[in-house]
Structure 1
């Protein structure tokens, strides 16, 4: 390959990586933990939601009580509501409904006294952590579309990176040249992690763009290829059953337990997790039951649509016999969220997510080091700004996520997001005000301190320390605390290394302490 072509790809890789890198750091770091979204609800449950374990009939009876109470107190919910059963998605059943004329969807639960409680649609540290993965803490709709654009840039960075590294792929694949040249070591680590996890990154760039910008990406085909009829072609893949107008004939909707029993007869092996209601109490009521069919395939989501009044089966979507379009869409979702392969895949995704975060962090550090002026102590302004932004955003995310876990254990659910924003904002402000060399070691030490406090917060929140959690079979509480201690040790070691480099390394760098001037 010509040198000029290689330089062009290097420029594309560098600038696209810089533009998208810090947003992708947040996405990967938060996403690494949000793979365990279901398990995180057991981290430090509140007394109001920490319901004792119930057998299946009691749990379904509780869900039925919630549905009946909702329809009695909020009659408008008959038009459309969504029930999430107790289980993997939380210890208590929840209903979601958007009141007529409103723009916001609300969550409804029964408290300990049986009173219907209204909550925001997204509440608590688990929901916020999940949203942080694809919004970076920005307003949900804006952040989602922004991350769609970021995913497109991410794909461009991957292609250009492969082109750059391809000529020395076999020679340098496993090269980690330790020694006094830290830039070379970081470059080797960046290349090795990037190439070994390349399939994972391709999946995420592709699926992330489709899941966030899918409708917009279809627009050219809708008008230029299909003459405005593309949505009709894809209707069976996007909708379980076509919407039918209500008959305005009153008919009771079948109970939750009966709906689940009929769905399981229609699709054996279906473990129902949620139910969508349309026009409840009407002869034309439609009910869609969603769940998992455990199997050795990528797609595990099954759906059964019923007439809510008669129980007639309207459609069955079996993951083993899905249409190509539905299988493709569900496959993208499964690949992106790691909803296949059970615990081994989730742990693999966690490691790859943390590795991806390191990839973007190290990419920024390499850019800063490549532009270092080796013959002058004062470095260019752009280098100083990039160093401080990298520290503030990346380390702010780390400290903020750790604070989020602490808030999840100790604070009311509504204050979890505030804990993240407060810590992230303070870290970013500190990074912008302090010299990069001092800010790096100080903020890494802060990350280590806050992360190490997570097990203590869990102990205070549940009365169960790390060892007790393991003995009592509370796996989520144990591995969250243990992983926090491992990460805290890693951040502490990085803080020490940063402090040592600032004191003893080449003074002509943003990572070195400014030389002191002595006056007589």
Structure 2
């Protein structure tokens, strides 16, 4: 390959990575945690007894009836989330189109109906942070769609740059006085060895965030504004039937669940979507897991809510090609296959991806430092401060979110994250980069180490009690937090050591 061509790819890789790297750090660090989105449900409060199947059905039925009685408009489209992976208590969601608002309803401990924001709780916040970076949901999602495309471009250019020395440097990790070489080797090794997963994340990230926007040229130029009509059958289990305008009582939740699980053997219903509840033509569509040795383990059954007649039953192998591909991408993106082994693999890959983008920015800084003067260029100090503030502010902010959820349940989760995140960025610019990195890493270590303590106070169950009681999710969460806190502490010590003993001609020097 010509040297000029290689330089072009290097320039593309550098600037695309710099433009999207810090947002991708947030996406990967938050994404690593949201792999365990179900396991983290209820971590911040006392363990709740799992109700029996009969009790769960009775409470779910009471919740549906209460919501429809107090919120008649919810009959147009109400989603009931059954007890299980999403928590021991049922919840109901209603999306109000007129105000673009999602309403969530649950029963309080005293049996009264409580209305909550549609997307509430610290787990849901971290989940949203993964693809919005804390920005308003719509704009953040679109931004990450663009970032996913830039991410793909960075992957392609990185492979082209690394290809000439692929075999020679694949497992090279040259430890020595040349810190830039060490970071370069680590960056390359992590990027190449996890390349297949990064291709999946970039592709699926773009499709899941701006997939509909990517269809726009086909919608207007090829299908004459009828593409959504063509695709409708791919997105619905059964076609919608207009309401008859005649009131009819619908079947109990327990009966509906029994019918749908009989119609699709092996499926465990997780949610029921009521369409026109209380009408003679009311339909209920049940969704749930139906493992069938396929990447897509998702199934759905549509029944008449009044008669219980099965309208359609679609298992994983029965989905049309478009929906099969979409479900497959979702499964690949979130690691919802292969059990806990894959979840832990995705967790480690998420942390490795965050390191990849953090190290990319450090390499940019190292490549532009002045080697014969102590004072470094302003742009180098700016990127160093921004990188430290955004990346370490994200880590500290997410750890703070755990603490607030357990200790201050009435305090805004989003507000708490924003305060810590923005304060970290401000601190990174007020202090010398090396000093700021050392101090913010210590902040990350302390906040992360406090997670098990906060969980103990909030739930009344410490790490060893969780192990003794067989609450493995809580025990593994606390143990992982302690391990990560130790890692941050070691990184803080290494940063301080380099600042004192390393090359003085660097923004990371304290000399």
TM-score of the pair, normalised by structure 1 = 0.96
CA distance in 2, matches of 1:20, 1:223: 30
Structure 2 partner of 1:279? 276
TM superposition shift of 1:100: 6.3
The answer on 1:293 being equivalent to 2:278 is no
After the TM superposition, which segments of 4 or more aligned residues of structure 1 sit over 4 Å from their partners? Answer: none
> Secondary structure, in 3 states, of the residue corresponding to 1:143?
helix
> Secondary structure, in 3 states, of the residue corresponding to 2:273?
strand
CA distance in 1, matches of 2:447, 2:48: 30
Structure 2 partner of 1:423? 420
TM superposition shift of 1:408: 2.0
Structure 2 partner of 1:76? 73
The answer on 1:182 being equivalent to 2:179 is yes
Structure 2 partner of 1:469? 466
Structure 2 partner of 1:314? 311
CA distance in 2, matches of 1:113, 1:487: 38
Task: State which of 249, 254, 257 in structure 2 corresponds to 1:257.
Answer: 254
TM superposition shift of 1:440: 1.1
Structure 2 partner of 1:63? 60
Structure 2 partner of 1:444? 441
TM superposition shift of 1:285: 0.4
Q: CA RMSD in A?
A: 1.2
TM superposition shift of 1:51: 4.1
Which aligned pairs between 1:16-415 and structure 2 lie closer than 5 A? 16-45=16-45, 51-99=48-96, 101-412=98-409, 414-415=411-412
TM-score of the pair, normalised by structure 2 = 0.98
> Secondary structure, in 3 states, of the residue corresponding to 2:412?
helix
Q: How many residues align?
A: 511
For the 8 Å contact 1:44–1:477, the answer to whether it is kept is no
CA distance in 2, matches of 1:457, 1:51: 18
> Secondary structure, in 3 states, of the residue corresponding to 2:243?
coil
For the 8 Å contact 1:42–1:476, the answer to whether it is kept is no
Q: C-alpha deviations, 1:323-347, integer Å up to 9, x for none?
A: 2222111101111111111111111
Judging changes above 3 Å, is the alpha-carbon distance between structure 1 residues 413 and 353 closer, same or farther for their aligned structure 2 residues?
farther
Gaps of 5+ in 2: none
> Secondary structure, in 3 states, of the residue corresponding to 1:274?
strand
For the 8 Å contact 2:404–2:411, the answer to whether it is kept is no
Gaps of 5+ in 1: 516-520
CA distance in 2, matches of 1:51, 1:351: 29
For the 8 Å contact 1:123–1:414, the answer to whether it is kept is no
TM superposition shift of 1:295: 3.0
Greater displacement, 502-511 / 59-68: 502-511
CA distance in 2, matches of 1:106, 1:245: 24
Q: C-alpha deviations, 1:8-27, integer Å up to 9, x for none?
A: 00000000000000000000
TM superposition shift of 1:413: 5.5
For the 8 Å contact 1:124–1:417, the answer to whether it is kept is no
CA distance in 1, matches of 2:411, 2:86: 18
CA distance in 1, matches of 2:380, 2:441: 20
